[in-house]
Structure 1
Amino acid sequence: MSRLGLLTWGMRHFVKPHLARASTPAHIRAEFTRAAGLFRAPPFLLHLPGKGPLPLDQISVGQVSGDRVILYFHGGAYIAGSPATHAALLGRLSKLTGLRVIAPAYRLAPEHPAPAAFEDACTAHQMLLDQGYAPDQIILGGESAGGGLALALLADLCARGVPPAAVFALSPWTDLALTGESLTRNADADPLFPVARIEETAGFAAGGLDRCDPRISPLYASFVAPPPVLIQVGTSEIIYDDSRRMADVLRQAGGDVTLSEWPDVPHVWQMFDGYIPQARQALCEVADFLKQQLTSPSRQRPDES
């Protein structure tokens, strides 16, 4: 059995049943924090925790660019996760891209339901502008709920005429209205998520907000001249259709979208770099995408030409 096969077997027989039995968001949050110790960080990772009402953690490996930055939103279904739980993944992204990663510790549901996370995303972006970054020096990224949050922020920034340089979203959750056919089609195939719990989770995340509100479901947002976007997703995920339909929405808005579909991988397999080769391959695809966007003549700033 391949390393990927072993990973998905373990998820299907141990993690998925455990998630199906998890009693509360606090329980899931604690389990996520414990599990994060299994993710392999690259050597020489520098993690500087942020301070203040909205902490912005800084994560880097080695020498990084001083004039470009990744603003990254962690996943965890809006109820779990933190920059610390994702430090290993973000360190690997930093190493491969040569960029510093800024990860906001945005507020979590159910204590802080939507639109709290979106408001924090907007604040984090403004904080980078206040530090002197131009809009086109900022790249948005995120995975799962964080990928949806990055795309929700993208719609807002495009509407305000300050789009980022590019966006990458890993298995993004873009439709909290739960209308994707893959929720039923992939219910058995998905090795990680028990579909029976997603309605409850969406309720925690949305609170009293309409689940089609673009601040939490960017599938229903309007995009004005979006920058290039890379979306990676596993074809067996229950939220596979969130990525497929999101790509269509962005293309209809005139966006240059790369939808990268991977068979047989679990949700956010990129976090398992160091365990399965598919994770490294996916992260290298992200790095190559960003390099292409940042070195494109149309993306170069006047002082770089």
Structure 2
Amino acid sequence: MSWQARVARFVGLNLTRPSLARQRDPRAARAHFERMARRFCRLPPRSLLLEAEEGGVPGLWISNQPQDEGVILYFHGGAYLMGSPRTHAALAAALAQRSGARVFVAGYRLAPEHPFPAAFEDALAAYDGLVRRGHRPESIVLGGDSAGGGLALALLGHLCREGRVPAGLFAFSPWTDLTFSGASLVTNASRDQVLPAHRLTETRAQILGGARPADADDPRLSPLYATFPAAPPVLILAAETEILRDDAQRMRGRLPGAEIRIAGDLPHVWPMLHGWLPEADDTLDHTARFILSCLRPTAES
């Protein structure tokens, strides 16, 4: 573990997680997330951002000296309650810089104002919008983190079942099971540096809106219960000490060909700390190589 990771652990356990545990108002949480992203997440040099819509879904196109027609459709994290294309612009730009692909970060609708299945509907609309614009499925890689990683996997399952398979998918610390059946929700409750486990039931109620907790196994929300016929290459990464570790590990039962990497004692979605945390840069370098391996057949054709 790097000294930066030790610092991140101290800050997470003593500041970040207690702050999230106290936060009850989604609007206040969104504003805080935006402020933190502006303060601590820096765009790489030569990054270009353009506000746009794809399939009627607002978002940001982010590029950094693009090298081919490859596109990443990225879904930000934030428990379906907060986060935006702006909070994740620096992470998307770091992926664009490393991979040469352009990234569209979708600004899907958030709960509780727009409960499930609004986020999934927007994810599908954004993908369909890219295809209508002329991007072939084999030139599109899906990506996301936390709730956005689960959303990307839910979209992948839907597309696989429809026979419209994209080039691949990567997910950082994905939230894949809102039935809360993973053991790490309990065993890592005191070790997770960011997420307060005791808030999950309240968060799920806001996401579901009028739906019942029994509906949480809907594959559009919990891709752990989805099927993935003829799945493309998939890369999933999570930390050993986070409460969502088992959400990542158990996806192997649905995606036996997936590359699932479990890192050490790192924060939830540690790649957001790129440029400061060595482990984040290493993870993004590996992810970029994975993205290129998915898009290379397109580039060579």
Flag whether TM exceeds 0.5 (same fold): yes
Asked whether the 8 Å contact 1:74–1:86 carries over to 2, the reply is yes
Q: State the partner residue of 2:60.
A: 57
User: Letter of the aligned partner of 1:145 in structure 2?
Assistant: A
Q: State the partner residue of 1:40.
A: 42
Asked whether the 8 Å contact 1:56–1:124 carries over to 2, the reply is no
**Count of aligned positions:** 295
Instruction: For 1:70 and 1:15, locate their aligned partners in 2 and report how far apart those are by CA, in whole Å.
Output: 29
Q: State the partner residue of 2:209.
A: 207
Residue 55 of structure 1 aligns to a residue whose secondary structure is: strand
Q: How does 1:265-276 map to 2 (within 5 A)?
A: 265-276=266-277
Q: State the partner residue of 2:265.
A: 264
Instruction: For 1:216 and 1:242, locate their aligned partners in 2 and report how far apart those are by CA, in whole Å.
Output: 13
1:192 aligns with 2:198: no
Q: State the partner residue of 1:250.
A: 255
User: In percent, how many aligned pairs have the same letter?
Assistant: 46
Instruction: For 1:137 and 1:80, locate their aligned partners in 2 and report how far apart those are by CA, in whole Å.
Output: 29
Q: How does 1:164-243 map to 2 (within 5 A)?
A: 164-209=166-211, 210-243=215-248
Residue 49 of structure 1 aligns to a residue whose secondary structure is: strand
Which consecutive residues of structure 1, in runs of 5 or more, have no partner in the other structure? none
Shift of 1:117: 0.3
Q: Deviations over 1:90-143 (max 9, x none)?
A: 000000000000111100000001100000001000000110111111110000
* TM-score for both structures, normalised by structure 2: 0.95
Asked whether the 8 Å contact 1:206–1:216 carries over to 2, the reply is no
Shift of 1:63: 3.2
Asked whether the 8 Å contact 2:138–2:295 carries over to 1, the reply is no
Which consecutive residues of structure 2, in runs of 5 or more, have no partner in the other structure? none
Q: State the partner residue of 2:90.
A: 88
User: Letter of the aligned partner of 2:67 in structure 1?
Assistant: V
Instruction: For 1:25 and 1:138, locate their aligned partners in 2 and report how far apart those are by CA, in whole Å.
Output: 32
Shift of 1:198: 1.1
Q: State the partner residue of 2:294.
A: 293
Q: State the partner residue of 1:79.
A: 81
The structure with higher relative contact order (CA 8 Å, sep 6+) is 2
Please identify, of 32-41 and 180-189, the stretch whose mean Cα deviation from structure 2 is larger.
Answer: 32-41
Residue 58 of structure 1 aligns to a residue whose secondary structure is: strand
Determine which of 122, 139, 157 is the counterpart of 1:155.
157
User: Letter of the aligned partner of 1:146 in structure 2?
Assistant: G
Asked whether the 8 Å contact 2:66–2:96 carries over to 1, the reply is no
User: Letter of the aligned partner of 2:227 in structure 1?
Assistant: S
